[in-house]
Amino acid sequence: MAHPIIFDTDPGVDDAQAIAIAMAHPDIELLGMTTTFGNVDITTATHNALLLAELAERQVPVAQGAAAPMVKPRHPAPTHIHGDNGLGNIALPEVQGKADSRSAAQFIVDTVNARPGEVSLVAVGPLGNLAAALQLDPALIEKVKQVIVMGGSIKEGGNVTPVAEANIFNDPHAAQRVLTAGWPLVMVGLDVTHRCVLGPRQMARIEAGQGRLGQVLAGSYAFYRSFYQQMLGIDGCCPHDSCALAWLVRPEMFTTQRGHLNVVTEGLAEGQTLFAPQERDFIESRWSGTPYSEVCLGIEGEAAVEWMTATLVGDA
């Protein structure tokens, strides 16, 4: 079964790998990419999205979006993780194509309205574009098939602060709107992405299986891997953003829980995602006032990484 998606992204090494999966998997119909600041500034994000599509010899519309958070000042891009160019500082070819003339938010609105009930939004960066799309067309909540967000953390703790995951921390106000909008939403956070390690053996297979794109994925991975070696002591990297696509195509690899999400927008815990499970009563009802969402709390990590690798070597 084909899954038509818009991929909202801040590429980014792990974004790049996920984009390659979205282009390679026979059951994913990539309708377009929308870009956001996050791992890189917005111009670099758009450049990289266009470049990755060209390396795969694919015509994929790319619409540029949020350059900064909705409310808070923008933090500098994490160049120590993704490199200055977002792709591990490797030399990159020139980009030929141009971005769509529409904003990312307008692209989302137009694309979903053209196929109501069919399109999944897969968001793997800060959530300003989805928040802006909702502002343009609040009825989107009835018209998207589902929203899959790579971001947040329930039990795992944070990766940029003790409690916050990067995508949510980078724009907590947008995240609060998106995670509580009432559309069918699944959160794929650090609770599952940290259970997946893509090692050098798999990366060598991907490099061999993806031509020019494979060289860029492998070259950028080498830079990203050294960050994970220092930070988490693992030999490989966590393919965060690809996990959102694993949910799209192979949700049976995950365990989830239903409940209410909230995002802390101010103070020491800004960017923290709070989850009140459906079946629990708490001392007050204010944690449970938001619509139901689904959060991923478990994953078959090895199977998910094998799915990613197989997709990128053409065995999906």
Q: Which of 5, 7, 8, 12 binds Ca ion (CB under 5 A)?
A: 12
Q: Which is nearer to ligand BDR, 13 or 133 (CB)?
A: 13
CA dihedral 247, 133, 264, 126 (to 10 degrees): 60
> Going residue by residue from 6 to 35, which x/- string records binding to ligand BDR, judged by CB under 6 A?
------x-xx--------------------
Q: Which of 17, 34, 36, 39 binds ligand BDR (CB under 6 A)?
A: 39
Footprint of ligand BDR on residues 250-289 (CB under 6 A)?
none
> Are the beta carbons of 9 and 15 closer than 8 angstroms?
yes
Q: Which amino acid appears at position 219 of this protein? A: G
Q: Which of 21, 30, 112, 124 binds Ca ion (CB under 5 A)?
A: 124
Edge-first strand listing for the sheet containing 28-35: 62-64, 28-35, 3-9, 120-123, 146-150, 185-188, 292-299, 254-263, 273-277
Contact between 240 and ligand BDR by CB under 6 A: the answer reads yes
Contact between 220 and ligand BDR by CB under 6 A: the answer reads no
CA angle 131, 136, 139 (to 5 degrees): 90
Distances (CA, A) of 13 to 97, 110, 184, 218: 21, 28, 28, 10
Q: Which residues are catalytic?
A: 10, 240
Distance CA 204, CA 185 (A): 34
CA angle 187, 193, 125 (to 5 degrees): 60
Instruction: Determine the straight-line distance between the first and last CA of the chain, rounded to whole angstroms.
Output: 13
At its nearest, how many Å lie between ligand BDR and the CB of residue 139?
28
At its nearest, how many Å lie between ligand BDR and the CB of residue 102?
23
Contact between 125 and Ca ion by CB under 5 A: the answer reads yes
Q: Which amino acid appears at position 63 of this protein? A: A
At its nearest, how many Å lie between ligand BDR and the CB of residue 18?
8
Count residues binding Ca ion (CB under 5 A): 6
Footprint of ligand BDR on residues 137-166 (CB under 6 A)?
150, 159, 165-166
Question: Which of Ca ion, ligand BDR, none does residue 120 bind (CB under 5 to 8 Å by kind)?
Answer: none
> Crossing angle of helices 301-312/13-24, nearest 10°?
70
Footprint of Ca ion on residues 234-253 (CB under 5 A)?
241
Tokens of 312: 């990128």
Q: Which is nearer to ligand BDR, 167 or 293 (CB)?
A: 167
Q: Which is nearer to ligand BDR, 159 or 256 (CB)?
A: 159
Question: Which residues of the shown chain bind Ca ion in the complex (CB under 5 A)?
Answer: 10, 12, 15, 124-125, 241
The residues that touch ligand BDR, with contacts defined as CB under 6 A, are: 12, 14-15, 39, 124-125, 150, 159, 165-167, 240-241
